[in-house]
């Protein structure tokens, strides 16, 4: 053993994730399916451009009524 080598260490979190992945092998596929459901979407550039063009500028003080 080298003088500067430290003993092998894994945190409790790493141990938990490792055991969870061994208990549930389909976990990564489930995570990817959940991500695809909420985040991996195709963006329609034309609709996005129309949305930005239709934006109304906000007045400097939002709560002031117009006279």
Helices 27-38 & 12-23 angle (0-180, nearest 10): 90
Quote the pTM value.
0.49
Overall domain count for the chain = 1
User: Token pair of 38, please?
Assistant: 């909420």
- Contact (CB, 8 A) for 10 and 3: no
Q: Which SS3 state, helix, strand or coil, does residue 67 take? A: coil
pLDDT tens, the chain, 67 aa long: 577 878 889 999 999 999 999 999 999 999 999 999 888 888 899 999 999 999 988 888 888 777 6
* 18 assigned to some structural domain: yes
Q: Identify the domain containing residue 27 by its residue range.
A: 12-53
* 2 assigned to some structural domain: no
For residue 34, with 0-12 CB atoms within 10 Å meaning exposed, 13-18 middle and 19 or more buried, which class applies? exposed
């Amino acid at each position: 053993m080298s003088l500067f080598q430290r003993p092998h260490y894994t945190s409790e979190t790493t141990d938990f994730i490792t055991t969870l992945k061994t208990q549930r092998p389909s976990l990564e596929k489930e995570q990817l399916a959940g991500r695809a459901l909420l985040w991996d979407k195709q963006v329609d550039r034309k609709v996005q451009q129309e949305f930005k063009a239709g934006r109304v500028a906000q007045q400097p003080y939002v709560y002031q009524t117009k006279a």
